[in-house]
A and B are shown apart, each in its own frame.
Chain A
Amino acid sequence: MQVVAVVPAYNESQVIGAAIGGLRPFVNDVVVVDDGSADRTGECARQAGAVVLRHFINRGQGAAIFTGIRYALELGADYIVTFDADGQHRAEEVSKLIEPLLLGRFDVALGSRFLEQGRVNMPVSRRWLLKLAVRFDRLRTGLRITDTHNGLRAFSRQAAEKIHLTQDRMAHASQILDEIARLQLRYVEVPVKVQYTVYTRVKGQPGFFGSLRILRDLLLSRMFR
Chain B
Amino acid sequence: MLKWVTLVFVAWMLLRIFHRLRRHELGRGEAGGWVGLWLVVLAAAWFPHGTDVVAQWFGVGRGADLLIFISIVALFALVSWLLTRVEKIEREITIVVRETALRDVKEAGGRERGGVNGGRKISNF
Write the B77-88 contact mask toward A (1 if CB under 8 angstroms, else 0).
000100110011
> Is B94 a contact partner of A63 (Cβ separation < 8 A)?
yes
Give bound CA distance, A70 to B87, whole Å.
22
Enumerate chain A residues within 8 angstroms of B117, measured Cβ to Cβ. 24, 27-29
B49 at the interface (CB under 8 A from A): no
Which of B59-90 touch A at CB < 8 Å?
80, 83-84, 87-88, 90
Which of A30-66 touch B at CB < 8 Å?
30, 33, 45-46, 49-57, 59, 63, 66
Which of A24, A45, A55 is in CB contact (< 8 Å) with B101? A55
Enumerate chain A residues within 8 angstroms of B121, measured Cβ to Cβ. 28
**B: contact size bracket:** 20 to 34
B-side residues, CB < 8 A to A, are: 80, 83-84, 87-88, 90-91, 93-94, 97-98, 100-102, 104-106, 110-111, 113-125
A-side residues, CB < 8 A to B, are: 1-3, 20, 23-30, 33, 45-46, 49-57, 59, 63, 66-67, 70-71, 74-76, 95, 98, 102, 166, 168, 220-221, 223-224
Jot down 28 A-B pairs with beta carbons below 8 A, ordered by A: A2-B119, A3-B125, A24-B116, A26-B122, A26-B123, A28-B119, A29-B111, A29-B115, A29-B119, A46-B113, A49-B115, A51-B105, A52-B105, A53-B101, A53-B104, A53-B105, A55-B97, A55-B101, A56-B97, A56-B100, A56-B101, A63-B97, A70-B102, A74-B106, A95-B124, A166-B91, A221-B87, A224-B84
